[in-house]
Structure 1
């Protein structure tokens, strides 16, 4: 195993520029060399095709940069610019493709028959992970005392989301694990400094011997899914206080090569949360038998597994019987990341569509100059800006809610309901959005080489992970009924745009009326209206008039068809497109 770890470390150092790459590998931070096109016969001359998009600046997004400044993280703009150039580089885009082409492989045993339960990843996965962790996209904000640190991380994820979505799973779980782990201060004291590190150190070793750790989670089981209270994994106390042994089988546990996992299991006092390390403090392997890796629709670069616990050592996090309450802060964080990654996928595919249509001609004109194509692109641009703006507003609420003084109750209430609302709506819009953006490329977009099919397959995951649409819609109803102040916090936010647009005002009034009639059957319609009024209010307050007017006319005013590309004739398409897709030449 030492040779495997050494190989991983060598790859990681190469990714960070610490050593020269292996022969045949491009140096980190440099564009991959391009091979000159071979001469061909006249019948195969390539014309009227878009050139490669990369290199490009993934942070070149007015809505993103304005939102970062508005939500208190303007100090991070220079770092975002650097990250944007890195994300859009030819080399990093190639890493993303390779990490998905060469999927992780499970090795249950070594050559001698010893159980090892390891997953091998392509070197490109490690390069991406190293850059993401170094960029502060894992647990780093919890160790950063600056106001806006969580906004900066969300903005970084929006930018780095132009690469590969699979490796965002372990970074998201690591970020979300920190506040949950704080329910057990003695465990947090040991693990939090390593979970908030900016060092990616792959390989299973004693946690205390590493410079940085990643965290995963094991919540769902095959008999219950989101209904975690039906979990059957049993936790048995040992003679050592706070230490238990687990026995059971988990159904979806992503990134099984993480160092530690937060797991739900049934203790004598009820459903409880536990910390499960892959390697115990004495250096021995904890029992973590990976039965198989899931064969998924998308998210192919990431390994999702079914681990079996049998005498697995675990430490209690929070009180017995309070497992759901202990992980609720974790859920708030991962749901924000679902919104963020959906918004990132929207932006990435919009940029791809805009690039293609600028360089492709049909019927005597560039596609981007065709009136109906401009309508499609502008409609996609509205959706993308609304998603990005909402993600950053949610990040701002999270930053202010978790800062520690507990005085900003309005932001706590707003975060609670708006995150569930955003998770429901933005992730629902993602698959339709990516399908439309793919269609802008025509047949070229349906071919794997374009990368668009990978993005399209990724989009539905974000609606499923951390609660499907029904789970989130019902969670909104639960918050309205059980948590005083959340409705008032939402309407206080909406009131900031009162009087600026009659269509928005009418929609907010309609929302108030619907609250009194809310029921599980109509929960989706209620949450959809919440999301649209919230996005509309943010755009009315912060976006150019052309963007806000077109959004309110369609999403709130009813002047909109059932497909993208149905903006009314009066919409200012030129202003919308110039803002969303600045001409790169």
Structure 2
């Protein structure tokens, strides 16, 4: 028996629907419907804007709709990557099994040629901000690592290894439409971020090397090529190498380059990304960069780009969180009025929006400095460089570190606040992408050096350059455009902190100094972001 609508209402049937909200969310264009992002793009791209704007209008619907649907499908727990160690004939293959949606998304994203010489840096930058709004989605970290590999190969061309020219072509321009994926394997169980503690051994064999030992935390374990740090036999200095996952002709046979993937890590976030433990047993490797400056090469180029990208990703995360929280607050009615009409909710939404816009403005401003500098990626500052150049390079170095620790910390807070706007629905994985992106932010905070490590590095950096770069001048240069009161306040505080035992032996005094240093760095970078935001609003 079929009941009339009015009868259904009287028999406990609830006709409430989220359809209007879902439809509006699915119709959003993450570029066209984000006025602040478009305004920021217009300010920084200058003469390039008109051309790139049109390309972004074509590109954005793919990310906002098609790729987003794939990202949601491949994030399901039941399709997480897993290892298939042996084939049917008992051959060790260490195949990483990933869902078909991941392969579709990966081919589409890498097929854009984001690091190709045919694409301008600004176009790539804005497209990556849009891609990061997917969350990790199995492509964000691979993109970042590939960028680092491309930059490393470009910085140190080496005619001794024709293989490196082929790898650069494969990762940067693609070969017959196929774009290779890069990775960076540096962490070992005994050291983590402490690269000097590496014990992986590189044994010379003619002009090549063979690697022996273990890398314990290896994201993008499915990559075609990886940047690996190791110590050459008989030395105590870390060097940097490029390692192909398969030698020519072996990929189709699933015969790896003399290494095994012991297992895939089970992580709280970036779950779509295969992170493994790798055991090398004579893998062929190509040395790259000065052999006695492997750490400087790895950190100054590869990790710097990764840290820079994490800040860019946080801008994308926060923009999406703000957009969807505002959309839901305008849809959902509770206790007789919309969520956005409650002062407490309105204040939270304003806070989320401000954080998203500050973070976006700061990411653009730092990237603009990155593009202005000649060879901004350096394995250490050189004393023979002009003083002003050294200062600018130093500014960039510290801003990248500050952005990495501050945006990931605030990003987690912003995502948590945005989730709370949705109430109970905010923690439902099928209802919202925000819980997944929240976990990705938390994991990103640990990548490429956790907060305490980078806070220590920043303090040491500033302390080491005081003879040629006074703390008050550093503050004034970073906060150019802020009020004089703000500049003087931060300059005075930094000068005082450099006299305190921030890195001293543990005591009540050093603990308090360390707490003050942490708070200073957060406030200092937020002041920088405010300057960037005000420049866009003018």
Please give the TM-score of this superposition, normalised by the length of structure 1: 0.78
Deviates more, 1:244-253 or 1:188-197: 188-197
Structure-1 separation of matches of 2:524 and 2:496:
10
Structure-1 separation of matches of 2:7 and 2:264:
44
Shift of 1:280: 1.4
Alignment correspondent of 2:454: 472
Over residues 81-104 of structure 1, what are the superposed CA-to-partner deviations in whole Å (9 max), with x where a residue is unaligned? 233222221x32221111111211
1:457 and 2:443 equivalent? no
Structure-2 separation of matches of 1:509 and 1:490:
6
Partners of 1:221 and 1:251 within 8 A in 2? yes
In structure 2, the residue corresponding to 1:449 is in which secondary structure? coil
Alignment correspondent of 1:69: 42
Shift of 1:305: 0.6
Structure-2 separation of matches of 1:46 and 1:250:
55
Alignment correspondent of 1:87: 63
Matches within 5 A, 1:319-338: 319-327=290-298, 328-338=300-310
Structure-1 separation of matches of 2:415 and 2:13:
31
Matches within 5 A, 1:160-199: 160-165=131-136, 166-181=138-153, 182-186=155-159, 187=161, 188-197=164-173, 199=174
Structure-2 separation of matches of 1:458 and 1:250:
22
Shift of 1:505: 4.2
Deviates more, 1:322-331 or 1:38-47: 38-47
Shift of 1:458: 1.4
CA 1:39–1:446 in structure 2 vs 1: closer, same or farther (change >3 Å)? Answer: farther
1:116 and 2:93 equivalent? yes
Alignment correspondent of 1:8: none
Structure-2 separation of matches of 1:81 and 1:455:
24
CA 1:509–1:485 in structure 2 vs 1: closer, same or farther (change >3 Å)? Answer: closer
Shift of 1:431: 1.2
1:47 and 2:16 equivalent? yes
Alignment correspondent of 1:552: none
Partners of 2:308 and 2:404 within 8 A in 1? yes
Structure-2 separation of matches of 1:135 and 1:421:
30
Partners of 1:417 and 1:490 within 8 A in 2? no
In structure 2, the residue corresponding to 1:196 is in which secondary structure? helix
CA 1:404–1:435 in structure 2 vs 1: closer, same or farther (change >3 Å)? Answer: closer
Shift of 1:444: 0.6
Structure-2 separation of matches of 1:40 and 1:389:
55
Count, aligned residues: 486
Alignment correspondent of 2:105: 128
Over residues 153-206 of structure 1, what are the superposed CA-to-partner deviations in whole Å (9 max), with x where a residue is unaligned? 222121122224131011110001122223243354332222112x5xxxxxxx
Matches within 5 A, 1:100-249: 100-101=75-76, 102-137=79-114, 139-140=115-116, 143-144=117-118, 149-165=120-136, 166-181=138-153, 182-186=155-159, 187=161, 188-197=164-173, 199=174, 211-238=178-205, 240-241=206-207, 243-249=208-214
Structure-2 separation of matches of 1:356 and 1:486:
48
Partners of 2:135 and 2:436 within 8 A in 1? no
Alignment correspondent of 2:409: 428
Alignment correspondent of 1:385: 357
Give 1:440's match in structure 2, choosing from 414, 421, 430: 421
CA 1:458–1:486 in structure 2 vs 1: closer, same or farther (change >3 Å)? Answer: farther
Partners of 1:411 and 1:489 within 8 A in 2? no
Alignment correspondent of 1:418: 399
Deviates more, 1:478-487 or 1:413-422: 478-487
Deviates more, 1:307-316 or 1:75-84: 75-84
Alignment correspondent of 2:247: 280
Unaligned 5+ residue runs, structure 1? 1-37, 200-207, 545-585
Alignment correspondent of 2:381: none
Over residues 277-323 of structure 1, what are the superposed CA-to-partner deviations in whole Å (9 max), with x where a residue is unaligned? 01113646301201000001011111111111011111111222311
CA 1:47–1:127 in structure 2 vs 1: closer, same or farther (change >3 Å)? Answer: same
In structure 2, the residue corresponding to 1:301 is in which secondary structure? coil
Over residues 197-231 of structure 1, what are the superposed CA-to-partner deviations in whole Å (9 max), with x where a residue is unaligned? 2x5xxxxxxxx888321110100011110011111
Matches within 5 A, 1:14-29: none
Partners of 1:514 and 1:526 within 8 A in 2? no
Partners of 2:74 and 2:99 within 8 A in 1? yes
Structure-1 separation of matches of 2:499 and 2:37:
36
Say what the alpha-carbon RMSD is for the aligned residues.
2.6
In structure 2, the residue corresponding to 1:459 is in which secondary structure? helix
Give 2:218's match in structure 1, choosing from 221, 234, 253: 253
Deviates more, 1:394-403 or 1:427-436: 394-403
Structure-1 separation of matches of 2:36 and 2:470:
27
CA 1:85–1:403 in structure 2 vs 1: closer, same or farther (change >3 Å)? Answer: farther
Structure-1 separation of matches of 2:305 and 2:247:
27
